């Protein structure tokens, strides 16, 4: 990752933190974010805390799993989904602060294989992906629950490849699990985000999926409405809107965008 200009980050955070009005006792916030955001949000949280903000507790996983946990009362202050559907899911249940929601970043979808693999294919309509797998398996996120899996199935459908590889697919719990399967050579290939492929020395990008083969990959972010969710009173009153809003503002700032771009995300986000 290219180095983030510390002066830009520090200046942006200083202004945001000065404008924050945390309640007494506010000393931690919790971000629930899609697994593919793990590295970028870890760096953003470190920058926020180093500039004087409170520690940011990070929870990463499938967007669906995190959304269901929030629905069931998990004490998150902010949520980043890897697609619009799961943010809409929380919005429909009155669990986000609607005015706080915006599209944070975008991504691309790629086919990966282990670094030493000879797999090669041009991802065009009618390509012989099943033949390229040579009897091996293809790891993708579970399309019913994992945005990366939904994008992957949509792209394969669009290219006319899904029926040929459906029986060879291995559904996994999140996109980082698909990456790990490929790293360990437990499958012949996997479909992940471009940002995931770049963090691993054990995989290589075989090909990128055409942007028009799936819906735009968009990461919405929003504050969680603690009062609507029924958190314990002290939690609900203690952590929004002060530092949680400041961290959200930082993520949407030029300094936050620099961190995201440094990890390969597309900023601004593509239109949905």
In tens, the pLDDT along 191-226 reads 999 999 999 999 999 999 999 999 999 999 999 997
Question: Which tokens belong to 254?
Answer: 């030029």
Residues 102 and 119 in one domain: no
Residues 227 and 100 in one domain: yes
Residue 267 forms part of a structural domain: no
Residue 156 forms part of a structural domain: yes
Residues 85 and 131 in one domain: no
Least confidently predicted of 12-21, 217-226, 237-246:
12-21
Highest mean pLDDT among 5-14, 46-55, 148-157: 148-157
Residues 95 and 123 in one domain: no
Residue 1 forms part of a structural domain: no
Residues 98 and 223 in one domain: yes
What share of the chain in percent tops pLDDT 90? Answer: 80
Q: Is the pLDDT of residue 22 over 80?
A: no
Q: Which residues sit opposite 113 in a β-bridge?
A: 204
Residues 88 and 46 in one domain: yes
Q: Is the pLDDT of residue 13 over 70?
A: no
Q: Is the pLDDT of residue 106 over 60?
A: yes
pLDDT at 15: 59
Question: Which tokens belong to 3?
Answer: 């180095």
Residues 101 and 123 in one domain: no
Q: Total domain count for the chain? A: 2
Give the mean pLDDT of 132-136.
97
Residues 84 and 154 in one domain: no
Q: Is the pLDDT of residue 235 over 90?
A: no
Cα torsion through 149, 154, 159, 160, rounded to 10: 100
Task: Find the distance separating the first CA and the last CA of the chain, reported in whole Å.
Answer: 27
- What pLDDT band is residue 243 in, cutting at 50, 70 and 90? confident
Q: Which residues sit opposite 266 in a β-bridge?
A: 106
Reduced DSSP (H G I as helix, E B as strand, rest coil) percent helix, strand, coil of the chain, to 5: 45, 20, 35
Residue 269 forms part of a structural domain: no
- CA–CA distance, 37 with 42 (Å, rounded to integer): 8
pLDDT at 1: 42
DSSP 8-state class, residue 82: S
Give the mean pLDDT of 15-21.
53
Residues 138 and 177 in one domain: yes
CATH number, domain at 31? 3.40.190.10
Domain hosting residue 237, numbered range:
6-106+219-262
- What pLDDT band is residue 242 in, cutting at 50, 70 and 90? confident
């Amino acid at each position: 990752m290219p180095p983030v200009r510390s002066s830009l980050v520090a200046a942006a955070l200083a202004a945001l933190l000065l404008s924050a009005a945390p309640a007494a006792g506010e000393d931690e916030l919790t971000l629930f974010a899609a697994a593919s955001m793990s590295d970028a949000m870890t760096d953003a949280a470190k920058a926020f805390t180093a500039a004087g903000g409170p520690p940011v507790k990070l929870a990463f996983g499938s967007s669906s799993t995190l959304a269901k946990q929030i629905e069931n009362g998990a004490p998150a202050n902010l949520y980043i989904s890897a697609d619009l559907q799961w943010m809409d899911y929380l919005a429909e249940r009155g669990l986000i602060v609607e005015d706080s929601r915006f599209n944070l970043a975008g991504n691309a979808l790629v086919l990966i294989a282990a670094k030493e693999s000879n797999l090669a294919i041009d991802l065009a309509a009618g390509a012989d992906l099943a033949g390229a797998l040579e009897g091996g398996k293809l790891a993708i996120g579970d399309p019913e629950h994992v945005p990366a899996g939904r994008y992957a199935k949509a792209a394969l459908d669009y290219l006319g490849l899904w029926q040929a590889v459906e029986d060879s697919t291995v559904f996994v719990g999140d996109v980082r699990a698909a990456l790990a399967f490929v790293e360990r050579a437990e499958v012949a290939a996997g479909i992940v985000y471009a940002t995931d492929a770049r963090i691993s020395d054990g995989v290589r990008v075989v090909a990128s999926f055409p942007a028009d083969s799936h819906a735009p990959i968009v990461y919405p972010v929003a504050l969680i409405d603690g009062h609507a969710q029924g958190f314990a009173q002290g939690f609900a009153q203690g952590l929004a809107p002060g530092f949680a809003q400041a961290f959200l503002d930082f993520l949407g700032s030029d300094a936050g965008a620099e961190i995201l771009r440094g990890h390969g995300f597309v900023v601004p986000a593509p239109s949905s």
